Chains A and B, each alone.
Chain A
Amino acid sequence: MRGLAAAFYAEALKARRSLVPWVVGVFATLPPVMLGMMMAIKKHPDDAQRFGLLTVKSRLLVGAVDWPTFLGLVGQTMGAMGAIAFAILTAWVFGREFADRTCRIMLATPTRRSSMILAKTGVAAMWCLLLAAWMIAASFAVGAIVGMPGLAWPIARDTVALAGRAALLWLTLMPVTALIASVGRGYLLPIGCALATMIVAQFVNATGWAPWFPWCVAITSGVTGTHITAASLAIVILTGALGMAATLLWWERSDQTA
């Protein structure tokens, strides 16, 4: 237990002192801000034209200027952007040990390797949840600033529930990113894989196999009206569990030469 506490202390301090989570936070604010801008342009086309803003494009992008439309668009965008942000955070927490060559500091200490991995997973999950909360809060703040009509309690509640569901599904898949960061000994490969997964997910979605592909399940979970079947949920949980087991096994068994 002391080992786990020590590992948590180390990981929390490292994450707090790192710039990456803060930069990812700024990056994750962009979707609601950009969509809010489009809404504002659509709402005030004359003012926007005076400032030389793209009114025609904004008209193509959005329908009505109201909370349900705005939150629906944010949900769709954040499904993908949030997933990449989660992947970057996880890749960083695991991959930095190789990039900074600090991996060997963690090894051959009384703190078990499994404790280190659990602490890393826990800290990465905390960052991801904070990020999700931040993205939701930013969306509501942007919507309020733009002054959109039609916000009702059920809409706000459903939006938070959808975002929470998407965040939890992405968290469940996080160990796969951790595994790729460990095996790939760095953070570039898992980030590349996350981007590639997004592209593959689009293809799988088009073929109708989305409910069987865990990353498609997570992407669509943020979209209003999407029903996730028990089988899809089980696939996501199984993928995450296998990722976690493989990550732990890799750290326990493989040669650590970095």
Chain B
Amino acid sequence: MSELVVRTVGLSKRYRGGVLALDRAELRIERAEIYGFLGLNGAGKTTAIRMLLGMISPTAGHAELFGRRVHAEATGLWRRVGHLVESAAAYPGLTVRENLEVARRLQDARDRSAVDRAIEKLGLGEYAGRPARTLSLGNLQRLALARTMLHDPELLILDEPANGLDPAGVVEIRELLRTLSRERGTTVLMSSHILTEVDRLATRIGIVHRGRMIEEQSADELEQRRNRRLNIGARDLGAAGAALRKAGFDPQPARDADPPLLELREPRALDAPDSVAKLLVEAGVPPTHLAVAQEDLEQHFMRLTADAEPRNA
């Protein structure tokens, strides 16, 4: 049986003033999973992350890491966790090396060479002697990530890990996280606004909206659930539509298509586009365009969050 590293049970937070930031969230993250935690600004991601780290206490429910209940002074737990919450921060007057040395001691990591290893791993060698206040946003992010990995944690909780990184840095961090997960069994919980990044990296994805988990799927399951459609172009779209309707399909104008297209969502069309082509040819309106399209994570996310919005009467 696989080991649950993160588990929340009805995790809720209502702030003073009545704002319900998180409502009965149920998270299950297994060892070595890379969990993409998605949501719009203010959806409740950071509140959930802070509750997982014992920084804020839930108003209902609870969180468990490695099977142990989370609370602020669960000091034994924090040896196994590395975290980056919201934006990268560092002591501005301390050099990169000093910032990491402070973090190493606070993390009670006994291995003194951990600082050098983290500097090398995150490509900070050139900046090791510079005060943190002189670092660019990208290098500050690297420093913050180095801090999270100093003590070889089993769980990494990263809020926007790619924030401020250049494209090469984004790829580098992606590969680093993938390697940690694959080779060391490190579990990663990451929130990100860069959905393509999450799409490439995450093995499981949870979407939170207005404080509620509206979807949680493995990347494979999600792949199946994303909307697929067969886009059809023809010189006479009206005639093509009539032929399709006659054959029992329900063609609809494709949204935002230029030039205009029809789309079919029926499984029998998606599974056998060649039969649709044959049908149109036989009806005298041969297709000029025939392609199965699938929404990407961004489109899926936008559709889900739009569907979850309360409708105006």
Question: Using a CB–CB distance below 8 Å, which chain A residues touch chain B?
Answer: 2-3, 5-7, 9-10, 13-14, 17-19, 100-102, 104-113, 252-253, 255-257
A106 to chain B: which residues have CB within 8 Å? 106
Q: Does B293 contact A (CB under 8 A)?
A: no
Q: Which residue of B lies closest to A103 (CB)?
A: B89
Question: Which listed residue, A108, A110, A256, touches B108 by the CB 8 Å rule?
Answer: A110
Interface string of B89-117 (1 = CB under 8 A from A): 11111100010001101111000000000
**CB pair B83 A108 closer than 8 Å:** yes
**CB pair A108 B78 closer than 8 Å:** yes
Question: Chain A CB within 10 Å — which of B73, B106, B147 has the most?
Answer: B106
Question: What separation, in Å, do the CA atoms of A13 and B55 have in the docked complex?
Answer: 25
**CB pair B50 A6 closer than 8 Å:** no
B50 to chain A: which residues have CB within 8 Å? 255-257
Interface size counted on chain B using CB atoms at 8 A: 32
* Chain B nearest CB, measured from A99 CB (Å): 10
B86 to chain A: which residues have CB within 8 Å? 101, 104
* Chain B nearest CB, measured from A107 CB (Å): 5
A9 to chain B: which residues have CB within 8 Å? 102, 105
26 A–B contact pairs at CB < 8 A? A3-B106, A5-B105, A6-B106, A6-B108, A9-B102, A13-B94, A13-B98, A13-B102, A17-B98, A18-B93, A100-B91, A102-B90, A104-B85, A105-B103, A105-B106, A105-B147, A106-B106, A107-B55, A107-B72, A108-B53, A108-B55, A109-B108, A110-B108, A255-B57, A256-B55, A257-B55
**CB pair B73 A113 closer than 8 Å:** yes
Q: Does B79 contact A (CB under 8 A)?
A: yes
Nearest 7 pairs of A and B residues by beta carbon? A6-B105, A17-B93, A255-B56, A108-B53, A256-B55, A110-B108, A101-B89
Question: What separation, in Å, do the CA atoms of A2 and B109 have in the docked complex?
Answer: 11
Question: What separation, in Å, do the CA atoms of A114 and B15 have in the docked complex?
Answer: 25
Q: Does B81 contact A (CB under 8 A)?
A: yes
